[in-house]
Amino acid sequence: MINLAVTHPQLASEWNTEKNGELTPEKVSRGSGKNVWWVKRYDDPKTGKHFDFEWKEKICNRANGNCNCPFLSGHRVWPGYNDLATTHPQIAAEWYIEKNGTLTPEKVSAGSKKKVWWKKPYDDPKTGKHFDFEWEACVNSRAIKGYGCPFLSGQSVWKGFNDLATTHPELVAEWDEEK
């Protein structure tokens, strides 16, 4: 048998010898359907941090070029590397902890389409009132598309802040509810 160490030396270098025990790249072929552990050693040029990304994947998927490191490709989250708290700390600071349960900014990436709760404290300089705006939005709409608080941007109405009765009370007197 022509083994993985011969046919794919680069993949063999990413073989996780600790977690795969006695199974080695010399004992498997590129077409094997075995699910094994891999490790990608990576030095992040942006932060200078070193990471040893570990994951399980079938040998044949890696050998066919279909599956590279899921953390470097952004398909999986590695806390401290590509999680929202690390990549977008300002947005992660608006995470509504109580309403999101066990899901935290360390468990999602900026590209996640997961809909979560956000909370934005705001002190209105005009009125001196304090507001804690709450809303649901997908993580990627905040981190990638750049959408912020829908109440501060005027996209949604918060009673007592940007509703017609608050912003233009004189118009409310003219409002005809029947028309």
Residues 25 and 92 in one domain: no
Lowest pLDDT segment from 50-54, 61-65, 150-154:
61-65
Q: Which domain holds residue 21?
A: 4-63
Residue 164 belongs to some domain of the structure: yes
pLDDT(179) > 70: no
Average pLDDT over residues 40-63: 96
Both 52 and 95 in one domain: the answer is no
Residue 8 lies in a domain: yes
Nearest to 47 by CA among 81, 24, 75: 81
- Kindly report, residue by residue over 158-173, the tens digit of the pLDDT: 999 999 999 998 888 8
> Band of the pLDDT at 175, cuts 50, 70, 90?
confident
178 belongs to a structural domain: no
Averaged pLDDT for residues 50-60: 98
Looking at residue 78, its pLDDT comes to 97
Question: 3-state SS of the chain?
Answer: CCCHHHHCHHHHHCECCCCCCCCCHHHCCCCCCCEEEEEEEEECCCCCCEEEEEEEEEHHHHHCCCCCCCCCCCCCCCCCCCEHHHHCHHHHCCECCCCCCCCCHHHCECCCCCEEEEEEEEECCCCCCEEEEEEEEEHHHHHCCCCCCCCCCCCCCCCCCCCHHHHCHHHHCCCCCCC
Position 176 pLDDT exceeds 90: no
58 lies in the same domain as 125: no
Do residues 50 and 18 share a domain? Answer: yes
pLDDT, tens only, 100-158: 999 999 999 999 999 999 999 999 999 999 999 999 999 999 999 999 999 999 999 99
- State whether 31 and 108 are in the same domain: no
Domain tally, the chain: 2
Share of the chain above pLDDT 70, in %: 99
Q: What is the pLDDT of residue 32?
A: 96
Cα of 7 vs its chain's centroid, Å: 35
* pTM: predicted TM-score of the whole model, two decimal places: 0.83
